[in-house]
Structure 1
Amino acid sequence: NAMSAYGLYQASHSPAHALSNDGILSRSLPHYWYQFAHGDIEWFVTDSRTRRNLSAADRRILDVEQEQSLLEWLVNSTARVKFIVTSVMFYPDRTLNDGDAWQAFPQQRLRLLECIRRHGIKNVIFVSGDVHGSMTSRLCHSQDSDFEVHTIVASPFCNSELLPYAVASNFIFKPPMARTENGDYHYELTGPVISQDNFAHLHVAAQSIHVTFHDRDGYPLQVVDIPLR
């Protein structure tokens, strides 16, 4: 029932559906992930919910086809800015690992990061929600000063008392997120964790991305500039 409602009210309005010649949405939908572009900005919206594999032999949050499409897009896209949308957090990692976010799929997360680093891909931004708090953070590499990836977490638009707001102490900041033979990945917050109802507005300018978090009445709470390279 939940997936039927998603198909009717959300997926039906998204670029996941192709338009037929007469303008009617095609009824077949082979997958929920999709891409779209606006000017020199491109987006890859992942499906990190319905195509998971939890087997120990090949644990993944994205299926094989989707991961390959994402990697090819990262390498081949000429977009100045590349946004990757994921329903659950790419990072920072939480102190309480409930097995839901990318934290629980470290091998696949590392494959994506190593692809970005090895190919020198610039201006990759992960956009996510899920944790009932908003923040921005930067991921760097101990041996590759040219590598930098950012994340924007924007939620919740409306919270309830049953789901407590996130605070900075809910996340792990001291040890590296991942260790490899070529160096370590480590992250840091680039702004405070916002623990109230809010939404984010992104403005991509020539030199930076302006991220403004607003309260439920539209008043700005915090502004963060993410520099572009």
Structure 2
Amino acid sequence: MFSPKRSSPHHPAGWLVDVQRRAPSHCEVCAKLFRNLIFLRTVTIAPLSIIQFWRDEVRPERWFAVDPNLDALIRTRYEALWRDARAGKLTDWAMTPEGTLALLIVLDQFPRNMFRGHADAFATDAQALALAKQAVARRIDERLPAVLRPFVYMPYMHSENLADQDACIALFLDRLGPDTMNLPFARQHRDVIARFGRFPTRNAALGRPNTPEEAAFLNAALKPH
């Protein structure tokens, strides 16, 4: 009885089967395209666009406000960029004053909006502080507009180390003057660290139990003045 010849890689039918075996699935193609889009989304964001967003779109009146809509906007636009910064993929930004400022905003300010009330809000504080200290040592802050210069000093203010708090006050006095509106807030932060050695307001997010004194402090802060 005649039996049909089996297809081989050299036979047209065999070639088709071979191609089908090697061809990526639809899901694989979609996944690759998604990864490429995320890559392009992060690498095409320029440092200057971060500064423009913070200065012109957010504006000073919302820099320190509790605004859920702003928090959601920053997370949608910049969470992927923040994760790249956390992974050390944006270190080249620190080669210029503008890039340094933008990276400090990404590392120190954005997570406080994106992850308000959660531990990730403070996840890149150490990176931001190290970068801020480098910038101050190189006097990069003095090459920035005065209205934006405080964001070089904010990582000091956010530190739970008393020496950093003292340095923060000294920087505001020395490089922005005694009339800067940030000075009273810097002194308040310093007083909290001098008293507790940490910020009690972070305890819940970081899973730290309150001491009785911290609990009393937090309860007093919640009472209307």
Q: Which has the larger radius of gyration?
A: 2
Bigger proportion of residues as strand: 1
Per the normalisation by structure 2, the TM-score is 0.33
Q: Scaled by the length of structure 1, what TM-score is found?
A: 0.32
- Which one has the bigger helix percentage? 2
